[in-house]
Structure 1
Amino acid sequence: MKRTMPDWIYRHLLFAELDQPQLAQVVTAALPVQLDAGEELFTHGQRATRFFILETGTIQLYRLSPAGEEKVIELIWPGQSFAEAVMFMEGNRYPVSARAIVPSEVWGFDMNVFRAVLQNSPAVCFRLLGRMSQRLRQLLQEIDELTLQNATMRLAQYLLRSAPEPSCGRYSVHWETPKQVLASRLSVRPETFSRILQQLAQAGIIQVHGKTVEVLDAARLRNWAGQSD
């Protein structure tokens, strides 16, 4: 049975500025892809033909070091797009590899079709640039956290960003992602990751139940985020 694209994808920031005929061009060329856990979507250096939006599951973007060590660049959650910037890069090759951590469903959008829509509408280009600049600021903030903050601060900030609402004082975070993958994403060793969770639990700030972390006091977690290891 042919999969139907969910309505929320039509409202994604990449498509929000398109009119109906433009959106129809992009959607008609879209391709649904189902991935098993551990299955690769694309690999570093592969010629890029599509960008993607994740519908369900979790995708990790990663690179291999010269020594063969895997470094997680980003974790993609449902609703997020990835590889769209490759459309505007010289060479049109994926700069990272993408792998499903759990069974996942993505939608792939033809880069050539999307570029053609943009080339025919400078107004849409400028509006899209404005929306993408917001995403760039978020990424720059994450880079600052990785380079300027210690391991405790990075993990605390990650837990805070996982809140369903910024004002939540108490909430739960469920991780399907393996601990070593999350640790790599935060540039933290797995044993350090576990140690920090234990410290936060001993301080009464969180409780850990298997793959679920319950944040008991977000205000104290924010204070903890400013402390040193």
Structure 2
Amino acid sequence: MRDDPPLVLGHSLFQGASPAAVNLLLRDAASLHVESGDFLFHEGDEALEYLYVRSGEIEVLRHAREGQERMFHRFVAGELLAETAMFMSHGRYPMDARAHTDAVVLCLKRDGLLAACAAWPELSLRLLTRLSDRVYQRVNEVEWLSDSTAAQRLADYLLGLSAGPDHQVQLPLTQRQLAAQLGIRAETLSRLLADWVAQGHIVGGRRDWVLLDPAFLEGLARPARRDF
């Protein structure tokens, strides 16, 4: 645990924290080692801690009524997760958190965060900005899901993952999970990928793809995007 405090305090949320705030933030903090597939908390559990990812990857997800998983985000080393849950009036986690890989996290206490906000008002302002940005992002996502086509959403998603001059893409989700995240049927996702392969726009299979014609995908995705 000795190396944890400098790492978490280097996060943009905590940079420049006063000594009093530092003591409150790190009070009773503890490292936790988890294996791939382990759950760190479940939806509905009392939200007493938020997490700083030291290594590995942690995903947050929900299960739909029909049992289908919807993965909302995957957190990597250097990121905080569940800090917003510390301020929810019901005091419970709104999602599950599961280790996607073996991981090490630093568990930080809700009471310490709330006390640090009172002792260091700048932290409250940073959290308010963080929360406001997330609300705005979610509003845009709702509009995007309702106003865009399945092809536009898939094209935009693939372009967002494209890396390197060869435009290689590795999907972090199964195709069924990806379909749920994009709000489309799994059969529709499979058909779009197959059509784009047949037309020479992409090549690959399962989770590994190469965008042969990114201009085609950009032409699809651009009309559905907002300027800010």
TM-score (norm 2): 0.80
Matching residue of 2:46 = 47
The structural deviation recorded for 1:98 is 2.0
The structural deviation recorded for 1:210 is 4.3
Q: Distance in 1 between matches of 2:146 and 2:2?
A: 42
| Displacement over 6 Å in runs of 4+ | none
Q: Where in structure 2 are the equivalents of 1:72-221 lying within 5 Å?
A: 72-78=70-76, 79-163=78-162, 170-221=166-217
**Identity over aligned pairs, percent:** 27
Q: Distance in 1 between matches of 2:116 and 2:81?
A: 19
The structural deviation recorded for 1:157 is 1.7
The structural deviation recorded for 1:139 is 2.8
Superposed CA RMSD in Å reads 3.0
Q: Distance in 2 between matches of 1:159 and 1:194?
A: 14
Aligned pair in 2 of structure 1 residues 5, 121: CA closer, same or farther (>3 Å)?
A: closer
Q: Distance in 2 between matches of 1:199 and 1:8?
A: 46
Q: Distance in 2 between matches of 1:189 and 1:104?
A: 32
Q: Structure 1 stretch 7-16 or stretch 81-90: which is displaced more? A: 7-16
Aligned pair in 2 of structure 1 residues 216, 4: CA closer, same or farther (>3 Å)?
A: farther
The structural deviation recorded for 1:205 is 2.8
Q: Structure 1 stretch 122-131 or stretch 37-46: which is displaced more? A: 122-131
Question: Would you say the 8 A contact 1:17–1:128 is kept in 2?
Answer: no
Number of matched residues?
222
Q: Distance in 2 between matches of 1:3 and 1:146?
A: 44
Question: Would you say the 8 A contact 1:163–1:171 is kept in 2?
Answer: yes
SS at match of 1:154: helix
The structural deviation recorded for 1:111 is 1.2
Aligned pair in 2 of structure 1 residues 194, 116: CA closer, same or farther (>3 Å)?
A: same
TM-score (norm 1): 0.79
Q: Distance in 1 between matches of 2:185 and 2:33?
A: 31
* 1:69 corresponds to 2:70: no
Match for 1:26: what amino acid? L
SS at match of 1:106: strand
Match for 2:17: what amino acid? L
* 1:60 corresponds to 2:60: yes
Question: Would you say the 8 A contact 1:169–1:217 is kept in 2?
Answer: no
Structure 2 stretches of 5 or more lacking a match? Answer: none
Q: Distance in 2 between matches of 1:132 and 1:175?
A: 27
Q: Distance in 1 between matches of 2:190 and 2:167?
A: 20
